Amino acid sequence: MSTNDNFILAIESSCDETSASVIVDGKVLNNIVATQSVHEKYGGVVPELASRAHQENLIPVVQEAVLSAGISLDQLSAVAFTRGPGLMGSLLVGVSFAKALAFARNIPLIEVNHMQAHILAHFIDDPKPNFPFICLTVSGGHTQLVLVKDYLDMEVIGETQDDAVGEAFDKTAKLLGLPYPGGPLIDKYAKEGNPKAFKFPVTRMPGLNYSFSGIKTAVLYFLRDQLQSNPKFIEENLADLCASIQWTLIEMLQIKLKEAVKQYGVTEIAIAGGVSANSGLRTTLQELATKKGWNLYIPKFEYCTDNAGMIAIAAYYKYLAGEFSSYDVTPLAKMKI
């Protein structure tokens, strides 16, 4: 490393992961993440508890990121942070810290859109997608099809009109009596089940949009009816239920993805967001890509869930473009690409 290297510290605090990362000239040096376990007993993220945990975790996480990068705060060229979307209290912790540090060091601030960052996580490691590409972004709060024309030029061409697919996984898991977060558990049990054992409705929406609230209702009524005649129905059929639910959700995702590819004529395909860690989705899209002749890109697992590495790579491209924020910047709970 030379004295001319541009080090950027990136902070992610949009939900329940406190994370910091240092990037130098496009190379992510580390990705420190503190996970919050306090929410498990409540069956979901409690915003106030998340904010408090961020306050406790942020300074140690930043210190570890800076120390493991082998630099000092004096060497930072900029501080980046997630501006939104996310939980307002959680975002406030990260934004306030970033503003204070940048002001104290008299260095630029870089705001990052969390959803853009999920997409740009593909440029942390090789292989990297070529422009233009279509990214299926799937997380607990968002489900979007995005046409990516350049690093900072993206267009949402389809999105969910209600629940995100991550919510659908977690809510149906709760109906099955699985603890939070239930999405990964559905994926785990689905590997042992028959995806065609039970049929749930595949919701159709106009254009390239999605809707996932219907499957939750369908599963609710289906389980109610089955449990009336057999109180042990879930216990005896858990693997098949998980496999059938997962198959239905993945089917909805791939139907619209195929339509988007046909409509835009783009065969460079990427998936991003927490649900892209789902093994069933990965396998299905890999098989589909082979069949259709697509080039498919999936980030490493550590860059699928919320992390500062993806904030860092997004900040790097904004730094090159000279896109800096003023000190009066405020977080946004809702923020469009």
Predicted model pTM: 0.93
pLDDT at 41: 63
Distance CA 133, CA 155 (A): 11
**Confidence (pLDDT) at 49:** 84
**Separation between Cα atoms, residue 235 and residue 119, nearest integer Å:** 38
Alpha-carbon span 186 to 7, nearest angstrom: 40
Written as tens digits, the pLDDT of the chain (337 aa) is 545 689 999 999 998 889 999 999 999 999 999 876 665 665 667 777 888 988 999 999 999 999 999 999 999 999 999 999 999 999 999 999 999 999 999 999 999 999 999 999 999 999 999 999 999 999 878 999 999 999 999 999 999 999 999 999 999 999 999 998 899 999 999 999 999 999 999 998 999 999 999 999 999 999 999 999 999 999 999 999 999 999 999 999 999 999 999 999 999 999 999 899 999 999 999 999 999 999 999 999 999 989 999 999 999 999 999 999 999 999 999 999 9
CB 110 within 8 A of CB 317: no
The Cα–Cα gap between 78 and 318 comes to 11
